[in-house]
Amino acid sequence: MPPVTEAAVLLVAGPGDAGPGDRDEMLRRGYAALEEAGVDGVDRLDVPGRGTAGEEVEGALRPDVQGMVPALQSGSLFGGRRGLLVVDAQNLLKAEAEAAADLVDGLDGGATVVCFVSAGPLPAPLAKVVERLGEKVTVKKLRERDALEWLAGAARARRVSLGAEAAAALVQRFGSDIASLGQALDQLALAEGPITAAEIAARFRNRPDEPMWHYADALGEGDTATALRRLADFLTHGHPLQLLSFLEGDLRRRALALAAPDIGTFAEWVGSSASQFPVQKAWKSRAKTTPELLHRALDALARADLQLKSMPEATHRVTLERLTVALCLWYGGRGGRRR
């Protein structure tokens, strides 16, 4: 039997809200880890999403997951080490996670290397075994600045002449989705000469499906132009009432930060830890506003909610644009300072 290496059990852990670019990076890391472990080939198993509560019957494994059992038990029929990539392992049901944990605990590392790719934490039964036996690679949530850094290297690799303005235009179009950015670069590689921002705007018309906190960050900075662009990005994919619901929660956090005597109390009120970045960011932003301005924001949200629910759809964008301009003023420190 070949010697068992320390890399028989691997975990690529990504963010729970992984987007297309994050998933692309997680899969790349998973395949790379298996290749580094010296496997002769890789079998991929995609765990389906969780459906209704009744799908877990008498501890049975779902059909799409059943192939995991022989793959972890037998390894390669032709000798050597075989790799198994389990994608979306966070979706394993309780019985499936328990079965996987038992199999991993008795894994023949000389014949099989398994890599779990998980967006968010693994189910508890499996997480305990993987933590004890495995090696972990963490993939952090991609931000736009990460995408810009990635884009510079990817453009050089494709020999695409991409200046700073053109790169920024690409990220404005695709956000942090490096999979789509890579496809865009493949198209641009066929062009001759330097690529300009105007060419990017003319060729690529789509908007990125970005998380709403991008919009909230622009509001907090009082950056009206960016906030309006983020609003347009969101409305391409999302519903106005989704945005209002998010803004109500954001306003609540701002009000709690303003009322809390210290950051520890604020963290307790929002059910988080004072060491968490979102908590620290909300706490620091409290100096930019006042109770009076937050009350005005609450009134504006209520009026916008009424408008969206009672007026024609054609007026919704204008309503949200006006709300955005007002919130930039009240949240960004230009509507009055705390004394």
Edge-to-edge strand ranges of the sheet holding 112-119: 42-46, 82-87, 112-119, 9-14, 135-138
Of 104, 123, 138, which residue constitutes the final position of a domain?
138
The whole-number pLDDT of residue 141 equals 83
Percent of the chain at pLDDT exceeding 70: 89
The whole-number pLDDT of residue 127 equals 93
Same domain, residue pair 19 and 133: yes
Task: Specify if 99 maps to a domain.
Answer: yes
Same domain, residue pair 156 and 259: no
What CATH number is attached to the domain comprising 99? 3.40.50.300
Question: Is residue 311 within 8 Å of 319, Cβ to Cβ?
Answer: yes
Task: Specify if 252 maps to a domain.
Answer: yes
pLDDT at 204 over 60: yes
Question: Is residue 114 within 8 Å of 8, Cβ to Cβ?
Answer: yes
**Greater confidence, 49 or 97?**
97
Task: Specify if 38 maps to a domain.
Answer: yes
Residue entry with tokens 């997951």 = 65
The average pLDDT across 54-70 equals: 76
DSSP-derived secondary structure letter, 195: B
Question: Is residue 12 within 8 Å of 33, Cβ to Cβ?
Answer: yes
Q: How many C-beta atoms surround the C-beta of residue 320 within 10 A?
A: 22
Which ranges constitute the DSSP H helices of the chain? 20-36, 63-66, 68-74, 94-105, 124-133, 144-158, 164-174, 178-188, 197-203, 213-221, 224-237, 240-259, 263-269, 277-285, 291-310, 316-331
Task: Specify if 280 maps to a domain.
Answer: yes
Could you tell me the pLDDT band of residue 51, with boundaries at 50, 70 and 90? low
Task: Specify if 58 maps to a domain.
Answer: yes
Same domain, residue pair 180 and 228: no
Task: Specify if 4 maps to a domain.
Answer: no
Question: Among 33-42, 64-73, 159-168, 201-210, where is mean pLDDT lowest?
Answer: 201-210
Could you tell me the pLDDT band of residue 176, with boundaries at 50, 70 and 90? confident
The whole-number pLDDT of residue 22 equals 82
Could you tell me the pLDDT band of residue 192, with boundaries at 50, 70 and 90? confident
| DSSP per-residue letters across 223-247 | -HHHHHHHHHHHHHHS-HHHHHHHH
Task: Specify if 336 maps to a domain.
Answer: no
Cα pseudo-dihedral 176, 178, 182, 188, rounded to 10:
10
Same domain, residue pair 174 and 256: no
Could you tell me the pLDDT band of residue 209, with boundaries at 50, 70 and 90? low
| Cα(170)–Cα(204) distance, integer angstroms | 8
The average pLDDT across 20-45 equals: 88
Of 138, 153, 186, which residue constitutes the final position of a domain?
138
Task: Specify if 339 maps to a domain.
Answer: no
Nearest by Cα to 8 from 130, 170, 185? 130
Same domain, residue pair 131 and 248: no
**What's the chain's average pLDDT?**
84
Question: Is residue 220 within 8 Å of 248, Cβ to Cβ?
Answer: no
Same domain, residue pair 261 and 185: no
Same domain, residue pair 172 and 234: no
The whole-number pLDDT of residue 7 equals 66
Same domain, residue pair 284 and 266: yes
Same domain, residue pair 163 and 130: no
Of 138, 164, 190, which residue constitutes the final position of a domain?
138
**Greater confidence, 120 or 205?**
120
Tens-place pLDDT, residues 104-137? 998 888 889 999 999 989 999 999 999 999 899 9
The whole-number pLDDT of residue 321 equals 92
Same domain, residue pair 29 and 81: yes
* 3-state secondary structure labels for all residues of 68-88: HHHHHHHCCCCCCCEEEEEEC
Same domain, residue pair 96 and 194: no
| Cα(247)–Cα(216) distance, integer angstroms | 8
The whole-number pLDDT of residue 315 equals 87
| Cα(233)–Cα(242) distance, integer angstroms | 14
Percent of the chain at pLDDT exceeding 90: 31
The average pLDDT across 180-203 equals: 83
Range of the domain at 227: 213-331
Domain count of the chain?
3
What CATH number is attached to the domain comprising 240? 1.20.272.10
Same domain, residue pair 324 and 233: yes
pLDDT at 13 over 90: yes
